[in-house]
Structure 1
Amino acid sequence: MINIDRVDHLVLTVADVDRAVQFYEQILGMTPVTFPGERRAVSFGGQTLKLHAASELVEPTATHPVPGSANLCFVTTNALSEVQEHLRANEVWIEEGPVSRIGSQGPITSLYLRDPDGNLIEIARYDEPEE
């Protein structure tokens, strides 16, 4: 049996790499990265989101790589009220939330928004344990 330890990176197919980098850097606080061959990405924690332009796909690729087809959840340590304030200040529409959900490690409270390509982005905070 194979033992998978963690996710190293994900690839998002985007319409405009510069626009995607700007969003993930300015709105979600991720760090821009450039790899050999001028490939672009953003990183946070120990993870990376590689950004591939739909017009210049890197092989091998997914069977149907299209902008706006992802649904991602990011965990924040900020209070969700701070996240809401930041999103509103940057004119980012909140699709839904705060709402209760279940994350991979238990109850979370989430906000939903969309990136410039229409990908659904969930910003979640793990609920404080009840005493």
Structure 2
Amino acid sequence: MNSTDGCTTSSPSGSGLDSAVALFHSLSDATRLAIVRRLAGGEARVADLVAELGLAQSTVSAHVACLRDCALVVGRPQGRQVFYSLARPELLDLLAAAETLLAATGQAVALCPNYGTDSTSPQTVKKFS
């Protein structure tokens, strides 16, 4: 079990899937996806994200830290501020592929009893765009 700023992952021992599990777990939260979506449009400070997402600064900071620790976002210090941006353009390719897969499966993901949008589970699948 790995844990970094609230990003906890686990996979079967010796499966060799730890990195993939960590990547998909880092993107499995609606707030982190909203941050990634916003950063796809250009860099932003935590204060900008707080204003745009309507969440507490501590919440946004924790999610940005998770994404940063997973090497999905990077910070560019400028004076006393830090401007965050996506670290890798491949992330947008991954999310575009996810959109294609969601379109191809229709309602199958939304109706999933474990993670679908109608699930009572705290982790619900949200469309990226």
Fold-level similarity (TM above 0.5):
no
TM-score after normalising by structure 2: 0.28
TM-score after normalising by structure 1: 0.27
In proportion to residue count, which structure has more strand?
Answer: 1
In proportion to residue count, which structure has more helix?
Answer: 2
